[in-house]
């Protein structure tokens, strides 16, 4: 429940939630819908795929999200070059659900880490074409700055490779990105639990994107709620200003008035 | 490994057609353009040279998933670990060749009349060459068999056959119209400055005819449902061809597989070659098996699969596919098409159409 003043704005839209939710890999569309409800997310991500012409069922997903006040963020997964990503983005825009696009250009089939060169090219081109571009990037502070220069509306550095649940492997770099960025920073990929969500926010992120940790949790709906709370807790904690980390203990109660003898400075070892 | 049934385009080496260009470069280009089978035919090299070429072509074809056949020489085929050996009418009898190479190796036979082809099929050939369809420089003494033998072969053979002899982008249409669905080329490919482009063009012609063969299903079908390799020989075909003229090329005419050694002087025929670019060919097919004849059928690549459409606009195609009411997006030849334009955007032969939709993702 952030104060209105603390709303995250991207591409001219003030968002009611800092949690972005992916729509893939849920046990069923109904569970996805409930999880979306529980997460409070406003931005939802999708992929673009060929229609299966041999089995043209009904719309798999949009039926479960349409009619809500959502912001659609199609990704360009499946692209391995800037050209492919641009094609996917243009197709997605023809769906009439807005002009946001998550540039996702995979550089390696097993790592699934983004290709920095192609991502930069695609971001530049799509920003010029009037898209609201949110590029998924590795946790490289320089690349994040480059993407911002290229016209990204927000940058989305990964905490760790997609779907690994390894959490934030490089808090130092992520902190740097958050500190330096002139656009919102959405930590995207690799988070595993509500603790990771909170950590990302404490590092200075403006929001997070999760899919697998919710969809594949034992109870996706409960995890969606946990993520919502984790993001809020992390955000408030960041705003509140945490104490510095120190090497030595300091008691929470005043020494004055203690009436038992103190142990020696050597601890339990008698001289 | 691919089977002989999967193979549509067969290219045979002919180093006399590309003096000064290395064999490796030319054959790699042919494979890149879509050649499914490569045959080493080298009547003049020393055993050591032929072995070296065979080893090289074996590695090249393996890398690209193409088949490799050795002409005439069972020992070399075995030594080079080729996929098969090809024999002429006067070469080793098929039974003896089979005894030497075993059941695991393909054996192809050159045939010049239907009796020879039926005999080869009976004796266990894996495929036959049917030709020379047109007069060729490679086989100067051999009389052309014309497309009538191609039609006979299409009607009577159960094993795959490759039409050969004078096959080039200019002649492919007639040979395919006669019932061939597999082509073999030599000089038109290896004697051309751009072998890959010629292969692309030949392959495209073949695929177009395969698409026309396909049965009808709500006005469209995919390659999957084409398994019934039923060539319709009774169709009347009207073709209009619009060829794009590139540079003048030296086309020397054509090889028939195997047999006699003597290469004669290559005659140089100057031709306009049609290569690359969208050379559009629309065929109006009147088919006795089709319930409603006369519809224009447009071959296209639909979501990555060969298909054909009776619809001439994107909107009509979407309707035929049951997508009209759904929130799907469409792309034509790599360009997204706004929904409001679907009904006015025309589909032409060989267009690449993609229908996509949103699915779950992060």
Contacts of A265 (CB under 8 A, 6+ apart): none
CB A104 within 8 A of CB A77: yes
Please indicate whether, in this complex, the C-beta atoms of B358 and A62 are within 8 angstroms of each other.
Answer: yes
- Locate B36 and state its tokens: 């499914």
**A186-191: average pLDDT:** 96
Q: Angle at CA B88, nearest 5°, toward B87 and B91?
A: 80
- Residue B339 sits at the chain A interface (C-beta within 8 Å): yes
Nearest chain A CA: its distance from B114 CA (Å): 40
In this prediction, residue B356 carries a pLDDT of: 95
Nearest to B355 among A51, A60, A62 (CB): A51
CB B33 within 8 A of CB B63: no
Contacts of A74 (CB under 8 A, 6+ apart): A45, A46, A47, A48, A88, A89, A92, A95, A97, A100, A101, A102, B358, B361
**Which residue shows structure tokens 């790592």?**
A111
Separation between Cα atoms, residue B197 and residue B188, nearest integer Å: 11
Contacts of B224 in chain A (CB under 8 A): 54
Query: How far is residue B290 from each of residues B213, B215, B295, B297, measured CA to CA in Å?
Result: 11, 8, 10, 12
Please indicate whether, in this complex, the C-beta atoms of B327 and A59 are within 8 angstroms of each other.
Answer: yes
**A185-193: average pLDDT:** 96
Q: Is A163 left (phi over 0), alpha (psi -120 to 50) or beta?
A: left
Is residue A181 over pLDDT 70? yes
Nearest chain B CA: its distance from A90 CA (Å): 6
**A110-134: average pLDDT:** 95
- Locate A173 and state its tokens: 């770099």
Catalytic residue among B110, B201, B287, B309: B110
Among residues B176, B93, B97, B84, which one has the least CA distance to residue B126? B84
Is residue A73 over pLDDT 90? yes
Query: How far is residue A83 from each of residues A129, B190, B302, measured CA to CA in Å?
Result: 13, 33, 20
In this prediction, residue B326 carries a pLDDT of: 87
**Nearest-Cα residue of chain A relative to residue B336:** A91
Is residue A167 over pLDDT 80? yes
Please indicate whether, in this complex, the C-beta atoms of A49 and B222 are within 8 angstroms of each other.
Answer: no
H helix or E strand, kind and range, residue A192: none
- Residue B327 sits at the chain A interface (C-beta within 8 Å): yes
Query: How far is residue B330 from each of residues A85, A115, B52, B276, B338, measured CA to CA in Å?
Result: 15, 27, 50, 26, 8
Separation between Cα atoms, residue A155 and residue A183, nearest integer Å: 7
**Cα distance between the two ends of chain B:** 36
In this prediction, residue A254 carries a pLDDT of: 87
**Nearest-Cα residue of chain A relative to residue B327:** A95
Average pLDDT, chain A: 92
Higher pLDDT, B264 or A147: A147
Please indicate whether, in this complex, the C-beta atoms of A26 and B360 are within 8 angstroms of each other.
Answer: yes
Strand ranges, E, within chain A: 8-10, 13-15, 19-22, 43-50, 71-74, 100-103, 132-137, 156-157, 186-188, 207-210
Instruction: Report the sign of the C-alpha dihedral through residues A154, A159, A161, A166, in that order.
Output: negative
Cis peptide before B132 (omega within 30 of 0): yes
- 3 state DSSP class of B168: coil
- Residue B355 sits at the chain A interface (C-beta within 8 Å): yes
Among residues B307, B318, B291, B286, which one has the least CA distance to residue B350? B307
Active site residue B41: yes
Please indicate whether, in this complex, the C-beta atoms of B361 and A24 are within 8 angstroms of each other.
Answer: yes
Nearest chain A CA: its distance from B86 CA (Å): 40
**A84-108: average pLDDT:** 94
Catalytic residue among B53, B58, B98, B139: B139
Nearest chain B CA: its distance from A218 CA (Å): 18
Q: What is the pLDDT along chain B (362 residues), one digit of tens a residue?
A: 578 998 999 999 999 999 999 999 999 999 989 999 999 999 999 999 999 999 999 988 988 889 999 999 999 999 999 999 999 999 999 999 999 998 889 999 999 999 999 999 999 999 999 999 998 877 777 888 889 999 999 999 999 999 999 999 999 999 999 999 999 999 999 999 999 999 999 999 998 888 887 643 344 444 444 333 333 333 333 333 333 333 333 333 344 443 333 333 333 333 333 332 333 333 322 222 222 234 568 888 999 888 888 888 999 999 999 898 888 999 998 889 999 999 988 888 888 999 999 999 98
Among residues B67, B12, B8, which one has the least CA distance to residue B259? B12
Contacts of B321 in chain A (CB under 8 A): 51, 53, 56
Please indicate whether, in this complex, the C-beta atoms of A94 and B304 are within 8 angstroms of each other.
Answer: no
CB B269 within 8 A of CB B247: no
């Amino acid at each position: 429940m952030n104060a209105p003043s603390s709303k995250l704005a991207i591409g001219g839209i003030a968002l009611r939630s800092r949690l972005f939710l992916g729509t893939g890999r849920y046990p069923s569309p109904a569970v996805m819908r409930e999880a979306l409800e529980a997460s409070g997310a406003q931005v939802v991500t999708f992929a673009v795929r060929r229609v299966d012409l041999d089995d043209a069922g009904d719309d798999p997903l949009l039926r479960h999200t349409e009619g809500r006040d959502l912001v659609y963020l199609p990704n360009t997964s499946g692209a391995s070059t800037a050209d492919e990503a641009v094609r996917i983005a243009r197709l997605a825009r023809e769906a009439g659900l807005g002009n946001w696009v998550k540039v996702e250009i995979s550089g390696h089939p097993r790592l699934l880490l983004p290709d920095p060169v192609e991502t930069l090219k695609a971001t530049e081109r799509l920003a010029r074409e009037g898209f609201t571009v949110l590029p998924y990037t590795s946790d490289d502070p320089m690349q994040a700055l480059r993407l911002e220069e290229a016209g990204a509306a927000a940058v989305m550095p990964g905490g760790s490779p997609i779907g690994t649940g390894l959490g934030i492997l490089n808090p130092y770099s992520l902190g740097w990105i958050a500190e330096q960025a002139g656009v919102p920073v959405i930590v995207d990929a690799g988070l595993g639990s509500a603790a990771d969500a909170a950590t990302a926010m404490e590092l200075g992120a403006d929001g997070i994107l999760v899919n697998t940790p919710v969809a594949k949790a034992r109870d996706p709906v409960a995890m969606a709620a946990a993520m919502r709370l984790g993001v809020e807790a992390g955000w408030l904690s960041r705003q509140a200003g945490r104490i510095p980390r120190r090497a030595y203990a300091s008691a929470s109660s005043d020494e004055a008035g203690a009436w038992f003898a103190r142990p020696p400075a050597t601890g339990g070892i008698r001289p | 490994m691919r089977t002989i049934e999967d193979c549509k385009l067969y290219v045979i080496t002919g180093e006399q057609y590309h003096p000064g260009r290395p064999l490796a470069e030319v054959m790699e280009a042919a494979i890149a353009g879509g050649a499914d089978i490569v045959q080493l035919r080298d009547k003049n090299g020393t055993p050591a040279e032929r072995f070296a070429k065979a080893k090289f072509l074996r590695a090249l074809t393996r890398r690209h998933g193409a088949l490799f056949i050795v002409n005439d020489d069972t020992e070399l085929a075995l030594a080079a670990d080729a996929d098969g050996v090809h024999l002429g009418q006067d070469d080793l009898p098929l039974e003896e060749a089979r005894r030497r190479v075993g059941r695991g190796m393909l054996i192809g036979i050159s045939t010049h009349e239907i009796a020879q082809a039926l005999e080869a099929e009976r004796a266990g050939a894996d495929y036959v060459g049917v030709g020379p369809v047109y007069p060729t420089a490679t086989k100067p003494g051999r009389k052309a068999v014309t497309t009538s033998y191609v039609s006979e072969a299409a009607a009577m053979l159960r094993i795959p056959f490759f039409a050969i002899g004078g096959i080039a982008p200019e002649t492919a249409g007639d040979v395919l119209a006669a019932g061939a669905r597999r082509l073999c080329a030599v000089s038109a490919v290896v004697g051309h400055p751009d072998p890959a482009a010629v292969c692309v063009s030949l392959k495209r012609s073949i695929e177009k005819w395969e698409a026309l063969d396909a049965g009808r299903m709500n006005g469209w079908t995919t390659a999957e449902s084409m398994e019934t390799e039923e060539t319709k020989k009774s169709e009347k075909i009207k073709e209009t061809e619009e060829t794009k003229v590139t540079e003048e090329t030296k086309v020397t005419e054509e090889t028939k597989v195997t047999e006699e050694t003597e290469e004669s002087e290559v005659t140089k025929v100057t031709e306009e070659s049609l290569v690359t670019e969208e050379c559009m060919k629309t065929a109006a097919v009147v088919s006795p098996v089709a319930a409603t004849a006369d519809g224009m059928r447009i071959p296209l690549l639909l979501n990555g699969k060969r298909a054909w459409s009776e619809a001439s606009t994107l909107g009509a195609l979407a309707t035929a596919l049951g997508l009209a009411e759904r929130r799907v997006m469409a792309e034509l030849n790599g360009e997204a098409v706004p929904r409001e334009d679907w009904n006015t955007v025309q589909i032409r032969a060989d267009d690449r159409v993609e229908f996509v939709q949103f699915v779950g993702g992060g």
